[in-house]
Amino acid sequence: MVKSTSKDAQDLFRSLHSAYSATPTNLKIIDLYVVFAVFTALIQVLYMALVGSFPFNSFLSGVLSCIGTAVLAVCLRIQVNKENKEFKDLAPERAFADFVLCNLVLHLVIINFLG
Amino acid sequence: MMNLSRSVALISLFLLPFLSSSFSVDNPTDRRVLVLLDDLSLKSSHSTFFNTLKSRGFDLDFKSADDSKLALQRYGQYLYDGLIIFAPSTERFGGSLDSKSVADFVDSGRDLILSADTSASDLIRGIATECGVDFDEDSSAMVIDHSSFSVSDGDHTLIAADDLVKSDVILGKSKIEAPVLFRGVAHSLNPTNNLVLKVLSASPSAYSANPTSKLSSPPQLTGSAISLVSVMQARNNARVVISGSLQLFSDRLFRSGAQKSGSPDKYEKSGNEQFVTELSKWVFHERGHLKAGSLVHHRVGETDEPAIYRIKDDLEFSVEILEWSGKSWEPYVADDVQVQFYMMSPYVLKTLSTDKKGLFHTSFKVPDVYGVFQFKVEYEKLGYTTLSLSKQIPVRPYRHNEYERFIPTAYPYYGACFTTMAGFFVFSFVYLYHK
């Protein structure tokens, strides 16, 4: 039983990996960016758990900047993905422009809230 | 005739402030002392004591206790700075003196030496009770000690006492070697009263009873609870000495040799003269009288006193304390003067260090609490005048622009925000220009 489950896990992992390699490069770049942002957020949460939440506004500002930019990147990926029927008529340049403007507003707010 | 006496009275009224050249704040030693005697032969039988007082510059005014012209005050001003009552059997004082006027005399800050003896009258007991000292209620009782009496005595009522209080300021620097001879009545102190103090206590084997009659019940006052000589320092720093024996001050006991029963040491001269002289120096403020200047405080690096401090300021505090040596003000040297930074309870309590010239100083950080604080110096050392000084000062919190600009614990968050922005910038370039 154990052997078969580990073999199943390996097979699952291999099929996921091969399916993922088929995605276009620009989507892979966006995925990398999301992973980087979430990873930065996790480091900050770990730091807060160790040291305590003293300047809470700074903590929130740091975490929300990472999470916010990750969310915006996910939205960009959804809009730019050619397999997505819902956004067939939306130009990818328009999606990228929205992404840039939203990030600008996000970072402005974040710097203000950082203290 | 009337005009003449009236004009003399008027002139003496004008001259009175100039005649009273004593007992001021700058010169606290008493000068004019009224001595009340019930028997004028005490002048000669206690002449050594009175002569030592006169040689130290006191003006002694001897009066009989029932003299009808006795007065402590005239026209609202006190005529004397000190009072010695050697009149244990007087029932009523003459003139305008009574136990209330003696109590007012002490309340005004003036000093008193009161001596009772066997057959002390109610008046003397009443004055002693006002000062916190209770004599034995039995008027025929004396202090008897069967193991600490003087060997020259027959019926064990002449006590050779050596249980003295350990205080250099009350009894002088040099130790009193010979025992002090005492024959008189016992008194006790209320243990909750913290203004009175036993200077000469009886030994644990002493008791107070009538020496001529057989004891029918155990005596009430026994052992070390019996005080032979006590002092009281009132809250206004008036000093009172209460003694149970008039013979303690007499020439005969001054000159007599002393040997305590059961002890091989034989002394040529009893300790009475040294004991009485040193005690009179203390009671008339020739020793142990302190004066403090004002409290000075300022921030470190400045010299002016600020009107308000901020929390976590560094400040320096100093106070000057002088001691009266009998003739001049000398710097006071001690290592136990403390200052409190007080608001309902002391937030800071520091012992002041002295520069041996009378200046006591320290420095500390204002605590992290804001409010209205007081610098308090409360000094109550045995035998010294009490010092109670305070100065109020407010403490404010930080102003909005006095906080630190960047909080060190938040540096990772600052770093994360800027890293995210850089990452976004790099990502945009890569996304747009990748092949």
Instruction: Express each pLDDT in B341-381 by its tens digit.
Output: 999 999 999 999 998 888 999 999 999 999 999 999 999 99
- Check residue B17 and give its pLDDT: 47
* pTM as predicted: 0.74
**Cβ atoms within 10 Å, residue B52:** 16
Q: Which residue has the tokens 């606290």?
A: B28
Is 50 exceeded by the pLDDT of residue B20?
no
* A34 touches B: beta carbon within 8 Å: no
* pLDDT tier, B114 (very low <50, low <70, confident <90, very high otherwise): very high
Give the HSE-up count for residue B23: Cα atoms under 13 Å, Cβ half-sphere: 23
Chosen for mutation from A27, A38, A40, A77 (greatest number of chain B CBs closer than 10 Å) is A40
CB contact under 8 A, B407 and A55: yes
* Range in B252-266, B337-351, B370-384, B396-410 with the lowest mean pLDDT: B252-266
Kindly list the residues from chain B whose CB atom is less than 8 angstroms away from the CB atom of residue A44.
Answer: 412-413, 416
- Check residue B24 and give its pLDDT: 72
Kindly list the residues from chain B whose CB atom is less than 8 angstroms away from the CB atom of residue A63.
Answer: 416
d(CA B103, CA B125): 13
d(CA B273, CA B267): 13
Percent of chain B with pLDDT over 70: 94
Chain B nearest-CA distance from A22, in A, is: 16
Chain B nearest-CA distance from A44, in A, is: 7
* A9 touches B: beta carbon within 8 Å: no
Most confident of the ranges B3-7, B192-196, B314-318: B314-318
B371 sits in the region (left: phi over 0; alpha: psi -120 to 50; else beta) called: left
Closest Cβ–Cβ partner in B417, B428, B431 for A110: B417
* pLDDT tier, A68 (very low <50, low <70, confident <90, very high otherwise): very high
Q: Round the average pLDDT of chain B to a whole number and report it.
A: 88
Kindly list the residues from chain A whose CB atom is less than 8 angstroms away from the CB atom of residue B423.
Answer: 33, 36-37, 40, 69
- Check residue B18 and give its pLDDT: 45
Burial of B345 (0-12, 13-18, 19+ CB in 10 A): exposed
* Range in A22-31, A100-109, B20-29, B138-147 with the lowest mean pLDDT: B20-29
Read off the DSSP letter of residue B260: B
Are the C-beta atoms of residues B200 and B224 closer than 8 Å to each other?
no
A60 → chain B, closest CA residue? B413
Q: Which has more confidence, B138 or B398?
A: B398
Beta strands in A20-88 (DSSP E): none
Is 90 exceeded by the pLDDT of residue B191?
no
CB contact under 8 A, B409 and A54: yes
Most confident of the ranges B121-125, B141-145, B255-259, B394-398: B394-398
Kindly list the residues from chain A whose CB atom is less than 8 angstroms away from the CB atom of residue B427.
Answer: 29, 33, 73
* B77-78 vs B82-86, strand pairing mode: unpaired
**Which residues 404-423 on chain B approach chain A with CB closer than 8 angstroms?**
407, 409-410, 412-414, 416-417, 419-421, 423
